[in-house]
Structure 1
């Protein structure tokens, strides 16, 4: 059955519930938080909650997962969306490290997927979309510096963007396991240094 399109007020209410649920899940953990906790935080009744999430907790968890995926990119803005120079790459790098150091050894998005399971309809699509959008931003940044790079500015942009994203994810995984951001820092620094080495014209100043 096709669901009715929400009004602007309905969309705002639904988003408020999702944001409130995200706060509860971050504070209490996905396994401990209940729908009652979400209702108390957001000031909604059970009937109102199920009006916006007819399939119950799993549907709400997927909505929160999508919200958390959006936050991954939003937390990197405006830097991720306007990488046009090596200075911009450095600013973006600092924002990424700060974000994940603040997050520490817990991952709200990862915890959500452990709860709902990647086989749940729509779950895998959220991760795929997140990675595609993130990679597209990185590819745009590579194209921007390549356009200004001159004769040496040759690179497989999509492959480079994919490799940098994979390096970041590896560094984040180690951070989640150890609480140490050293590998994330190394992955970003080496990835950007490799890009700069390959894209800058011969004779350009060596990065500090």
Structure 2
């Protein structure tokens, strides 16, 4: 089972790394969301998160697997945190933003969205959860950034 966890985590985290390694704009965050939602919609009714599904099955059964899952989620969250830090450092987000706090909130919205999408067999709850979380992140833009168009880059 640990090999399955490691393989699944490697696949998920590699994809997340590709999309988040240069995240530095709201548009990049929206593109990341679009990729996640589209990928979930294309999985023939398997709308859940591959890591989240394993975590829900294993966390109470195998302490080592639970610890491994926690490390994998922390790695994913760290990719988001680094992106928010770049956004903060470049002025896209206010200087007082706690990048880790935003990353935890977005990860929670994502995982909850995955769970609801899986239960409903409809990607819309996931899209709504991510849209609401991203809208909240945007409230941390400095006032001047709200008036001017964003100089953007990508998530690649």
The 5-angstrom pairing of residues 149-160 of structure 1 reads 149=91, 152-160=94-102
TM-score (ref. length: structure 1)? 0.61
| Alignment CA distance shift 1:139-1:112 (3 Å) | closer
SS at match of 2:146: coil
Shift in Å at residue 118 of structure 1?
3.5
TM-score (ref. length: structure 2)? 0.79
2:128: which partner in 1? 186
SS at match of 1:89: helix
Residues 153, 201 of structure 1: 8 Å contact kept? no
List runs of 5+ in structure 1 lacking aligned partners: 1-60
Matched positions, count: 146
Asked if residue 123 in structure 1 is aligned to residue 65 in structure 2, the reply is yes
| Alignment CA distance shift 1:135-1:70 (3 Å) | same
4+ aligned runs moved over 4 Å, structure 1: 106-109
| Alignment CA distance shift 1:145-1:128 (3 Å) | same
Shift in Å at residue 146 of structure 1?
1.0
Asked if residue 67 in structure 1 is aligned to residue 4 in structure 2, the reply is no
Residues 149, 201 of structure 1: 8 Å contact kept? no
Residues 75, 99 of structure 1: 8 Å contact kept? no
- Per-residue displacement from partner, 1:44-90 (whole Å, max 9, x unpaired)? xxxxxxxxxxxxxxxxx220121112222223341122201222212
The 5-angstrom pairing of residues 95-110 of structure 1 reads 95-103=35-43, 104-105=45-46, 107=48, 109=51, 110=53
Residues 55, 69 of structure 2: 8 Å contact kept? no
| Aligned mate of 1:204, from 132, 143, 146 | 146
| Aligned mate of 1:78, from 18, 35, 39 | 18
1:148: which partner in 2? 90
Q: What is the CA RMSD across the aligned residues, in angstroms?
A: 2.6
SS at match of 1:149: coil
2:27: which partner in 1? 87
List runs of 5+ in structure 2 lacking aligned partners: 150-156
Q: Which stretch shifts more, 68-77 or 139-148?
A: 68-77
Q: Computing the radius of gyration over CA atoms, which structure comes out larger, 1 or 2?
A: 1
Alpha-carbon separation, structure 2, partners of 1:73 and 1:151: 25
